[in-house]
Amino acid sequence: MIKKLLVALSLANLFFFNAWREALSPQAFFYFYYWKQYPGYAILAALVFNVLLLASLFFACFYAARRFVGRRFEKFVRAGFLLVFLLALNGIRAQFDRLSVRGLRISLGKPGLVAICLIMLTLAVFVVARYGLVRMSRAVASMLLVVSPFGLVGMGQAAWIAYKYGVPAERERPQAPALEVGADARPRVLWVIFDEMDERMAFAERPASLSLPEFDRLRSESLFATNAFPPAGHTSQSLPALLTGQLISAVKPVGPDELMLTIPARQATVGWSRQPDIFSDARAAGFNTALAGWYHPYCRVIGDRLTSCRWEPASQLALPDRLSVWKNIVRQQIGLFASIPFAGDLHSRLSRTEVEDYGAAHLADYRALLPEAESVAANREFGLTFVHLPVPHPPYIYERAKGELKDAAGGSYLDNLALADRTLGELRRAMEQAGSWETTTVVVSSDHWMRSDYWRVRPFWTALDSETFDERVEHRVPFIVKLAGQKSGTTYDAPFNTVLTRDLIMEVLGGRIRDPGELAAWLDAHRTFGESPYQSYEDEQ
């Protein structure tokens, strides 16, 4: 009976292959870098429960088959055992994008996918016919016995990872000491990034149903660029590029407090924490720096060059660190449906119970960051303030018709655009009340465009975005600069890439750009390209 128990345990482990990947391989599991708290304890506890539960079920089936099923039905029992084993292998296959049904359909086409399925089925029938059910089932059982120690080894390894990386919050770097700043009229800059804000939807082709009075007001007193392009097509790559002022062709998390950046211009890959950026520049120039940001763990990576730092993780990446043991149990059990061939739609429908969790978490991120953003934006002690906010990026947490925040699924990209506009107004009012608006240069932009092409691979986002979803994608982002004291607006039409923002802001802090004419002349002299060659989403898929 010990052998049957080990076979049952080993088979159960195979069914939870993806959960083991999540628990054991934080570097391969892309999202580890983006979690605020390491969720390994809850994931591991849920995994142990689920494996033991499924192993108990298998063992009970083995015992019942041996005790109550006669030889007449032995072949059916062995065939069922082989079928369950094949389902486990199919579940492992489904965890790899290139081997998934969608990946195979993309690479081989529908006829190729059908051909592969027929070949595999024919091969399985041939092997069983050639060697027989008895020999095949014994071979599979022997193989499961060989790999049965994996469970114990895996639990030990998961416990070690939990011990090693258990509290990422403790890895946040000590903030830089505040510098003595006088009461002189030194330049001051507020740089605001609205995540996934699209120039076409917000300005060039704004729908008649959408009103953005705060953005229009800011545009009327600023330099407004009509052809600004971001350095990359997703946040993980674009934000480090903007802050370092260098194009980045790839990023790779290597721990909770480090992101490796591949910089083509230097033909090198360096850690973000060791790379000079706008904050180290500003500190060297004698300015206090502040950041309130979303998505990246800024305080863990570059917190030592910031006088004030606050960050919140992205809900779609960091949801596991918000889940209890019970919710992880359910999530892992839902993942078992990936083992059933062509059950991807069923798996997606069951998984959609997490959508409201995404919305609630996204709303919590927004509510946590906005007061901090208002505080640091209004505080004149900070010479450089950077604010990265999670709107209009989905999930959609605003209902513009009612002017209300919400955490339930629904709404559209236009609703979140209206929320971004409301947020800009709240930042402005906080600064006006503190007397810092007129004396501050305000730079407003985005890290990437609205990626309708990207969200097509995430059905629940697409379903929530029916108001704006279309096949057309443009790569322009807003770029608005209101210089301190500026009262009138101007338009800048030449194409450029916003990766130059770091150098532009340092010119403003150095007092070398003081009026719109100098700003336009500087852009003319330093814009060397518009569209970035680095737009792939491979790192996030």
Q: What is the DSSP string of 88-157?
A: HHHHHHHTSGGGSHHHHHHHHHHHHHHHHHHHHHHHHHHHHHHHHHHHHHHHHHHHHHHHTTHHHHHHHH
Nearest to 36 by CA among 310, 270, 259: 310
Cα gap 314→362, rounded to integer Å: 7
The predicted model gives 504-533 an average pLDDT of 96
- β-strands 477-482, 441-445 pairing: antiparallel
Q: Which of 436, 394, 435, 437 is nearest to 417 (CA)?
A: 394
Looking at residue 495, its pLDDT comes to 98
Which one has a higher pLDDT value, 456 or 1? Answer: 1
Q: According to the model, what pLDDT value does residue 471 have?
A: 63
For residues 106 and 329, which has the higher predicted lDDT (pLDDT)?
Answer: 329
- Closest by CA to 23, choosing from 319, 332, 317, is 332
Q: How does residue 32 score in pLDDT terms, banded at 50, 70 and 90?
A: confident
Does pLDDT of 353 surpass 60? no
The pLDDT of residue 97 is: 58
Q: In the structure, what pLDDT confidence band is assigned to residue 149 with cuts at 50, 70 and 90?
A: confident
Q: In angstroms, rounded to a whole number, what is the distance separating the alpha carbons of residues 388 and 366?
A: 10
Q: What is the pLDDT of residue 538?
A: 44
pLDDT in tens, 209-246: 999 999 999 999 999 999 999 999 999 999 999 999 99
Percent of the chain predicted with pLDDT > 70: 80
Exposed, middle or buried, 227 (CB in 10 Å: 0-12/13-18/19+)? Answer: middle
Residue 541: pLDDT band with limits 50, 70, 90: very low
Nearest to 242 by CA among 530, 539, 497: 497
Please give the Cα distance from 21 to 152 (Å, whole number).
15
Contact 486, 518 (CB under 8 A): no
User: Among candidates 293, 286, 252, 290, which has minimal Cα distance to 269?
Assistant: 252
Structure tokens at 189: 């800059």
pLDDT at residue 150 above 90? no
Least confident piece of the model among 216-225, 251-260, 464-473? 464-473
pLDDT tier at 37, thresholds 50, 70, 90: confident
Confidence of residue 47 (pLDDT cuts 50, 70, 90): confident
Predicted TM-score (pTM) of this structure: 0.79
Confidence band for 534, pLDDT divided at 50, 70 and 90: confident
- Tokens 């082709």 correspond to 205
**Coil, strand, or helix at residue 268?**
strand
pLDDT digits (tens, 9 = 90+) for 383-433: 999 999 999 998 889 999 999 998 766 778 999 999 999 999 999 999 999
More confident residue, 511 or 26: 511
Question: Is the pLDDT reported for residue 342 higher than 70?
Answer: no
Asked whether the predicted pLDDT for residue 26 surpasses 60, the reply is no
Percent of the chain exceeding pLDDT 90 equals 47
Residue 46 pLDDT greater than 90, yes or no:
no
Question: Residue 461's pLDDT is what?
Answer: 45
For 293-315, what is each residue's pLDDT tens digit? 999 999 999 999 999 999 999 87
Average pLDDT on 173-197 reads 88
Kind of pairing, strands 223-229 and 496-497?
parallel
Mean pLDDT calculated for residue range 344-368 = 69
Least confident range from 99-108, 192-201, 208-217, 220-229: namely: 99-108
Query: Could you give the angle at the alpha carbon of 168 between the alpha carbons of 164 and 172, nearest 5°?
Result: 125
Tell me what the mean pLDDT of segment 60-77 comes to: 73
Quick one: CA dihedral 107, 112, 113, 116, positive or negative?
A: negative
Question: Which range, of 30-34, 67-71, 237-241, averages the lowest pLDDT?
Answer: 67-71
| Strand pairing category for 404-405 and 258-263 | unpaired
> Both tokens of residue 303?
């917190």
Residue 137 is predicted with a pLDDT of 78
Residue 260: pLDDT above 80? yes
Find tokens 């194009």 and name the residue: 247
